[in-house]
Structure 1
Amino acid sequence: MSNEQVRPSAPVPTTLPLSEIGKLIQSNPPNISYIQYDISLEPKYLPQIRALISKDLSEPYSIYVYRYFLYQWPELCFIAIDTTTSENDLVAVVICKLERHRGGPMRGYIAMLATQEMHRGRGLAKTLVSKAIDLMIAKNADEIALETEETNTAAMRLYESLGFLRSKKLHRYYLNGNSAYRLLLYLKPGVGQIPTDDFYDPFGYNDLPPSAQDDPRFPQGQADKDDLFRRGIV
């Protein structure tokens, strides 16, 4: 779900333990600092996060979707800032969550990833994703999932260089009519065999944050849960 323009990189050595993979590929270009998000940063950085993601991604997310992720899993959002600007402006961001997938494996989910065009090709996106992966591993994740447009070859290269595999093609997945691939990164042996409950639904309307209940997409308090699930929003 990103428009990253990344340089091809060498595959991560598979002999390394997963806990070391993220550290191996993280880059530290000059004048860039990486920050783990905190709710106290919302007044300064949430408007910048929304502006950057709205410009780059295919989905028109509302403020409620951002708060769904950032209020429940703030530690799984990482941002890159440009320290040469007077306000330490945001230049890249990744937003994730971590919870049980249909009563089965503990699944991390990379929901949003974007980098300012002028800062692409410097490894920022790969570093942000690797920081999120490292933290999800530390939190005992079994697997990590995401979706990205089938035409976004740069993003596909980025994720596949980190070990993600194409799991499923999702036809006409995005509102713009484009199809997507679901990608999975298995972090533990045998994760693919962990049973899930197809009827397990912990994400009904009442489980959304209170602010989301005013979202105009949910008329008369009835959430379009199928649409939310289909687009990977919750």
Structure 2
Amino acid sequence: MEASKGAKEEEIEREKKVEFAASEIEYVSYGGEHHLTLIMGLVDQELSEPYSIFTYRYFVYLWPQLCFLAFHEGKCVGTVVCKMGEHRNTTFRGYIAMLVVIKPYRGRGIATELVTRSIRVMMESGCEEVTLEAEVTNKGALALYGRLGFIRAKRLFRYYLNGVDAFRLKLLFPQPKLHPSFPMISDREDTQRLKGRTDKRASEG
């Protein structure tokens, strides 16, 4: 009974809101194994899906520039872990694998800042879109990504181990526009133009 009471009090203590100014939060890029331990602790504590250490290393070793951590007074309070690469040989896509902010620090813009930083790197690296999965019951995450411009592309039934469905969310980056002085020429038009020049040279010869 006492053990149960103590666990309950500890849970309440963990969820107490913390007062802080936005300027007090420090955001850093992934810096090595000392950060990996912090990331694993946060994700294991807050997310429903279990991950092996090999999964974490896959992301942070190959795409350390897409992993960010948030600190408050030396304590790690949030993290985002992502990757990017070719999708079906047609699209260069970014992917948000994990996003965590511990309960006392939620609702203060930390998750938004973490995601925004990773998206900025993806865009600068040439990604055309960003995707992720979120539980259909996770209203906070769905609202956050909605504010950032993500749309619900697909519903994935019983996607998670706990049997909960997921939404696949997608953010499309605007395609770069050509300068007004540069005419837009399709591949077909360009081929026909080159063929015409070749035929003309042949007839002149």
Normalised by the size of structure 2, how large is the TM-score?
A: 0.73
TM-aligned CA deviation for residue 80 of structure 1? 0.4
Deviation digits for residues 42-76 of structure 1, max 9, x if unmatched?
1x221221111112112100000000000000000
1:189 Cα deviation after fit: 4.2
Give the structure 1 partner of residue 48 of structure 2: 58
Deviations 1:182-222 (A, max 9, x none): 000011349xxxxxxxxxxxxxxxxxxxxxxxxxxxxxxxx
Instruction: Tell me which residue corresponds to 1:47.
Output: 37
Q: Which structure has more helix as a fraction of its residues?
A: 2
**Does 1:77 find its partner at 2:63?**
no
**Identity percentage of aligned residues:** 46
Amino acid corresponding to residue 128 of structure 1 in structure 2: L
> What is the 5 A alignment of 1:19-58?
29-38=22-31, 41-42=32-33, 44-58=34-48
Q: Distance in 2 between matches of 1:56 and 1:31?
A: 23
The letter for the 2-side match of 1:180 is A
Paired residues of 1:56 and 1:114 also in contact (CA < 8 A): yes
For residue 146 of structure 1, the aligned residue among 125, 128, 132 is 132
User: Which residue does the alignment assign to 1:111?
Assistant: 97
Contact persistence 1:79–1:93 (CA under 8 A): yes
Within the alignment, does 1:158 sit opposite 2:148 as a pair?
no
Q: Distance in 2 between matches of 1:78 and 1:105?
A: 24
Residues 143-186 of structure 1, C-alpha deviations (whole Å, 9 max, x = no match): 00000000001100000100000000000000011000000001
Give secondary structure in 2 for the equivalent of 1:140: coil
User: What is the aligned partner in structure 1 of residue 166 from structure 2?
Assistant: 180
How many residue pairs match? The answer is 156
Letter in 2 for 1:185: L
Alpha-carbon distance between aligned partners in 1 of 2:174 and 2:127, rounded to the nearest angstrom: 8
**Residue of structure 1 equivalent to 2:80:** 94
How far apart are residue 30 of structure 1 and its match? 3.1
**Match status 1:132 vs 2:118:** yes
State the SS of the aligned residue for 2:100. strand
Q: Alignment partner of 2:35: what SS?
A: helix
Highest RCO, 1 vs 2 (Cα 8 Å, sep ≥ 6): 1
Please say which structure displays the higher CA radius of gyration: 2
Distance in 1 (alpha carbons) for counterparts of 2:96 and 2:27: 17
* TM-align CA RMSD: 1.4
- d(CA) in 2 for partners of 1:141, 1:52: 27
Q: Which residue identity is paired with 2:70?
A: A
Equivalent residue number for residue 217 of structure 1: none
Distance 2:169 2:61 in 1: 25
Q: Which amino acid aligns with 2:148?
A: L
Structure 1 stretches of 4+ with a deviation exceeding 6 A read: none
- Structure 1: stretches of 5+ with no match in the other structure: 1-27, 191-234
Q: Give the counterpart letter for 1:143 in structure 2.
A: E
User: Gaps spanning 5+ residues in structure 2: where?
Assistant: 1-20, 177-205
Q: Secondary structure at the match of 2:85?
A: strand
Asked if the contact 1:77/1:93 (under 8 Å) is kept, the reply is yes
Secondary structure of 2:23's counterpart equals: coil
Q: In 1, Cα distance between the equivalents of 2:174 and 2:86? A: 15
Separation (CA, whole Å) in 1 of partners of 2:107 and 2:119: 20
